[in-house]
């Protein structure tokens, strides 16, 4: 892959988990990184760590469900660095809510961040990408929704499946302008968000993954870095599954030799 030196990369939802790993990966490859998160204080803390390590980064607060907020993020980025080369629309939320008791507010909150948030993040950076006739957009989807299902996550699954429809149509529309649009589809990832689950449950989940472990946030960050590379310009409209083979077995019997 090519050097990302001085490329301007925005990563939403990057104060922790997958987004933080993405920010670290791009910064270590020489990019100027915007650590953007609903928690502005945490975003600034991550950016400060990167700067202390010798990288270029700023931290910004953003509510991806608000166009005013995403446009302010893009404006602040452009004012600081004069361009935007990569948008990693990664911000997401996954509260569990059984369908019979799910409220309209529950549904709207998850769709607002996980689906609308990706659209608004992309919309905010498009003016600069269109001007420069170049851009790499990577949206975080999931295997849940597009490929698999999980009880209690109908809103999350609907949003993540919708992300792929958005990615394909946006890729078609933006291809003539030198802008690629792709998605990463993580399987089960060991992030702080799994802290509420028991070790027994986590062990069972890990046993269902053919490579024998859950993904780390870095595994997903490497995939985003590949899709954001200047040399990945002929890859657009795709969803890159990063799940250690989690979606491959038909059943537990498929593991038997």
Give 162-217 pLDDT, tens digit per residue: 999 999 999 999 999 999 999 999 999 987 766 666 788 788 888 889 999 999 99
CATH architecture of 8-242: 3-Layer(aba) Sandwich (3.40)
Rounded mean pLDDT of 221-234?
98
As given in the structure block, the two tokens for residue 121 are 């993040």
Predicted pLDDT of residue 250: 84
Rounded mean pLDDT of 53-67?
98
Predicted pLDDT of residue 203: 83
Predicted pLDDT of residue 201: 77
| Helix, strand, or coil (residue 33) | strand
90-117 pLDDT, tens digit per residue, is 999 989 999 999 999 999 999 999 999 9
Predicted pLDDT of residue 121: 98
Tell me the CB-side half-sphere exposure of residue 108, using CA atoms within 13 A: 4
Please enumerate in sequence order all residues whose Cβ is within 8 A of that of 48, keeping only pairs 6 or more positions apart, or say none: 59
State what percent of residues in the chain have pLDDT above 90. 87
The residue with greater pLDDT, 148 or 208, is: 148
Indicate which residue of 55, 94, 134, 156 is catalytic. Answer: 156
Alpha-carbon distance values, 218 to 2, 25, 181, 196, 197 (Å): 19, 8, 21, 21, 21
Q: What residue ranges do the domains of the chain occupy?
A: 8-242
What is the spatial distance between Cα 218 and Cα 222, in angstroms, rounded to a whole number?
6
The residue with greater pLDDT, 45 or 194, is: 45
Confidence check: pLDDT of 257 > 60: no
State what percent of residues in the chain have pLDDT above 70. 97
Select from 146, 159, 161 the least CA-distant residue to 243: 146
Predicted pLDDT of residue 191: 78
Question: Is 94 among the residues known to form the active site?
Answer: no
| Helix, strand, or coil (residue 234) | coil
69-93 pLDDT, tens digit per residue, is 999 999 999 999 999 999 999 999 9
Predicted pLDDT of residue 35: 98
Confidence check: pLDDT of 39 > 90: yes
What is the pLDDT confidence band of residue 38, given thresholds at 50, 70 and 90?
very high
């Amino acid at each position: 892959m090519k050097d990302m030196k001085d490329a301007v990369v925005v990563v939403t939802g990057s104060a922790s988990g997958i987004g933080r790993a993405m920010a670290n990966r791009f910064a270590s490859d020489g990019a100027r990184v915007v650590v953007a998160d609903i928690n502005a204080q945490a975003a600034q803390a991550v950016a400060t760590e990167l700067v202390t390590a010798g990288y270029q980064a700023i931290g910004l607060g953003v509510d991806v469900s608000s166009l005013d907020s995403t446009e302010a993020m893009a404006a602040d980025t452009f004012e600081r660095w004069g361009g935007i080369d990569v948008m990693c629309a990664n911000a997401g939320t996954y509260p569990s809510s059984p369908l019979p008791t799910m409220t309209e507010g529950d549904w709207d909150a998850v769709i607002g961040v996980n689906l609308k948030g990706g659209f608004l993040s992309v919309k905010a950076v498009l003016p600069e990408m269109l001007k420069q006739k170049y851009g790499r957009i990577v949206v975080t989807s999931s295997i849940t929704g597009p490929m698999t299902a999980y009880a209690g996550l109908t809103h999350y699954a609907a949003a993540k499946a919708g992300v792929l429809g958005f990615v394909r149509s946006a890729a078609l529309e933006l291809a003539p302008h030198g802008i690629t649009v792709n998605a990463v589809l993580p399987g089960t990832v060991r992030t702080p968000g799994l802290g509420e689950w028991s070790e027994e449950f986590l062990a069972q989940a890990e046993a269902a993954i053919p490579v024998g472990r859950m993904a780390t946030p870095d595994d997903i960050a490497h995939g985003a870095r590949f899709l954001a590379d200047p040399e990945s310009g002929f890859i657009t409209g795709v969803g890159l599954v990063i799940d250690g083979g989690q979606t491959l077995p038909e059943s537990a019997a498929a593991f038997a030799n």
